[in-house]
Amino acid sequence: MESASPFVVTAAQMRAAEEAAVAAGSDWAVLMERAGTGVAEAALAHFAPLAGRTVLALVGPGNNGGDALVAARHLADAGAQVTLYCWRRNRVDDNLLACRARGIREVHAADDADGALLRAMLAEATLVIDGLLGTGARPPADDLAAIIAAANTARAQRADLRVVAIDLPSGVAADDGQVATVAIRADLTVATGLLKRGLLLWPGRGYAGTIVVAPIGLGSLDEALTMSELLTATQARAFLPARPADAHKGVFGKVLVLAGSINYPGAAALACAGAQRSGAGLVTLATGRNVLALAKVPPEVTLLPVAEGDWGAIGPAAVDELADDLPRYQALLIGPGLGQAEATRQLVLRLFGLDQVRSRARVGFVAVGDAIAHVPQKTVELPPTVIDADGLNLLASASGWFERLSPERCVLTPHPGEMRRLLGVTELPPDAVAVATEAAQRWRQTVVLKGATTVIAAPDGHTLIHDGANPALATAGSGDVLAGIIAGLMAQGCAPFAAAALGVYLHGAAGAKARAAMGDAGVVAGDLLPLVPQAIRELRAG
């Protein structure tokens, strides 16, 4: 989805944007006129011809209903047979008068107690305009819930009935995308002015259908309103590292992948291949000697066998073996397939200097939850680092882990389960944007909170939201490929946030290609690898 404005706001931020526009000379009525006009234009663009067709506008009590009245008037002017179905819309304003002046039929839900009229009108409609609730919505109940359910039933029964939601599908919470009771199922959602966060978060995203933004003339926005954006091709393109024709492989950086265990040799191989396919000059895998024999790494990957602690699990002595080599790499990836053996936990803690720390909340001499506070090891200088999968799970076992990471050097790529462990909570709040933003600011690292919608959050509070739900990507190893791509981009000189955002975009683009070629089911992570260079080429070409 490319949109007029990529900014994504909460309901409160939207109100602030509107108030700022009004303070700068705009008029509420003009904003609403533009919003309703944009809805009508989008409906015509997507579902033409509407002349002579029957359009049913569901009109609620607030400004969302006001937008619907404006859209209804424009669609009537375009030749559609429009009917208004008003729910608790008792005031008569200019927009309603303008509809009446055109002879647009007006039915009030109060006169349709059993909903029979509504069902009859839905049975005849070609298009439903949902202007019941917008950013001011509380969870619909009773007669309002029944109206929404009737519209959903009609849409489910008739493939030729299309539903256009204004701003948000009614019933979807504007800030976190939750659907507490029922919500309109839309084919198209026309966000007025700016995208609302709940449109992009699940389950709300699943109700919205195609999303477009109708510009309403908000003018220049305050910085607080521009901190959260949709990740678009335009933005991803700006993060692409240069690819000079006269470059040698050293220019594109070396990645060290510290990954794999006896049960997960493939994760290490996929991560290495992801880094290669993102354009890194050289990829090296450091893993246990017994794991190396099993990991089917691409032939171009160089190998560094390191000490195992338990059999098939990398142990803490590997840190000493790697310490002298680490400065030669431009990026480190730790985590894919590491497993959670105690020896590997000690490896992770030693790598990040956490085995030298005692918890501030300790009792006695040894911190609960921390590793053994043993003899100090020499401090290891780490290159910019991606921490993924079990690297995150093991890190989470040490309290205050984030205080030992060099600020703004790392990308952490948790899925929700890993995020819960890192935060030490049993449940995450539904607003993934808030969760990722607060974590990135607190930890002072870039965070990629993965999901059907992935959030990339920077330590300075900026977030990019990737609208990339794709069931083909829900497959083992997909995250290993992503972590490899991000590390490969960091080795090529991308800053952590840029590498994370570009990596998520390219991974999503490769996934979209795999889905287009093979379908929703049966794509395996390895299928993504050859598609990553194609995604880079297409992004670069624009």
Ligand X SMILES: NC(=O)C1=CN([C@@H]2O[C@H](COP(=O)(O)OP(=O)(O)OC[C@H]3O[C@@H](n4cnc5c(N)ncnc54)[C@H](O)[C@@H]3O)[C@@H](O)[C@H]2O)[C@@H](O)CC1
Amino acid at 195: L
Complex with ligand X: residue 22 or 373, whichever CB lies closer: 22
Largest CA distance in the chain: 86
170 binds K ion per the rule CB under 5 A: yes
Residue 60, contacted partner among ligand X, K ion, none, CB below 5-8 A by kind: ligand X
| Cα gap 453→447, rounded to integer Å | 14
Minimum distance of ligand X from residue 324's CB (angstroms): 59
> 18 with 31: CB under 8 angstroms?
yes
Minimum distance of ligand X from residue 61's CB (angstroms): 4
- Give the residue among 196, 224, 176, 192 at the shortest CA–CA distance from 451: 176
> 184 with 151: CB under 8 angstroms?
yes
Residue 176, contacted partner among K ion, ligand X, none, CB below 5-8 A by kind: none
Taking the chain, what is the end-to-end CA distance rounded to the nearest angstrom? 15
Return the range that interacts with K ion (CB under 5 A); candidates 42-50, 90-98, 128-136, 419-427. Answer: 128-136
Return the range that interacts with K ion (CB under 5 A); candidates 59-67, 256-264, 308-316, 340-348. Answer: 59-67
Minimum distance of ligand X from residue 448's CB (angstroms): 30
Residue environment code for 460-479, b if the CB has 16+ CB neighbours within 10 A, otherwise e: eebbbbbbbbbebbebebbb
Residue 136, contacted partner among K ion, ligand X, none, CB below 5-8 A by kind: ligand X
Complex with ligand X: residue 173 or 395, whichever CB lies closer: 173
Minimum distance of K ion from residue 108's CB (angstroms): 18
Q: Which residues contact 336 (CB under 8 A, 6 or more apart)?
A: 257, 259, 260, 264, 267, 268, 270, 271, 388, 389, 390, 391, 479, 480, 483, 484
Complex with K ion: residue 151 or 457, whichever CB lies closer: 151
Minimum distance of ligand X from residue 537's CB (angstroms): 40
SS3 content of the chain, % helix, strand, coil (to 5): 45, 15, 40
Torsions phi, psi for 256 (to 5 deg): -105, 125
Residues that bind ligand X (CB under 6 A): 18, 28, 31-32, 35, 60-65, 67, 133-140, 144, 166-167, 192-193, 216
> 258 with 334: CB under 8 angstroms?
yes
- Give the residue among 378, 313, 386 at the shortest CA–CA distance from 343: 313
Residue 28, contacted partner among K ion, ligand X, none, CB below 5-8 A by kind: ligand X
Please report, in range form, the residues annotated as the binding site for K(+): 64, 130, 170
- Whole-angstrom Cα Rg for the chain: 27
Q: Which residue number places its CB atom closest to ligand X?
A: 134
Complex with ligand X: residue 165 or 422, whichever CB lies closer: 165
Return the range that interacts with K ion (CB under 5 A); candidates 106-114, 130-138, 144-152, 414-422. Answer: 130-138
Please report, in range form, the residues annotated as the binding site: 63-67, 130, 167, 170, 267, 337, 415, 450-454, 479-480
Residue 130, contacted partner among ligand X, K ion, none, CB below 5-8 A by kind: K ion
Q: Total number of residues binding K ion (CB under 5 A)?
A: 5
Complex with ligand X: residue 216 or 434, whichever CB lies closer: 216
Q: Which two tokens stand for residue 263?
A: 């049960």
Complex with ligand X: residue 6 or 134, whichever CB lies closer: 134
Residue 67, contacted partner among K ion, ligand X, none, CB below 5-8 A by kind: ligand X
Complex with ligand X: residue 207 or 443, whichever CB lies closer: 207
67 binds K ion per the rule CB under 5 A: no
> 503 with 486: CB under 8 angstroms?
yes
| Cα gap 78→161, rounded to integer Å | 19
Minimum distance of K ion from residue 28's CB (angstroms): 18
With vertex at residue 21, the alpha carbon angle to CA 19 and CA 23, rounded to the nearest 5 degrees, is 70
Single residue of 18, 112, 130, 527 touching K ion by CB under 5 A:
130
- Give the residue among 110, 95, 109, 123 at the shortest CA–CA distance from 28: 95
Single residue of 166, 211, 464, 486 touching K ion by CB under 5 A:
166
Residue 13, contacted partner among ligand X, K ion, none, CB below 5-8 A by kind: none
Minimum distance of ligand X from residue 188's CB (angstroms): 14
- List C-alpha distances in Å: 468 to 53, 478, 506: 34, 14, 11
DSSP string, 48-102: ---TT-EEEEEE-SSHHHHHHHHHHHHHHHTT-EEEEEESS-----HHHHHHHHT
Please report, in range form, the residues annotated as the binding site for AMP: 450-454, 479
Complex with K ion: residue 64 or 287, whichever CB lies closer: 64
Please report, in range form, the residues annotated as the binding site for (6S)-NADPHX: 63-67, 167, 267, 337, 415, 480
Tell me which residues touch K ion (CB under 5 A). 64, 130, 165-166, 170
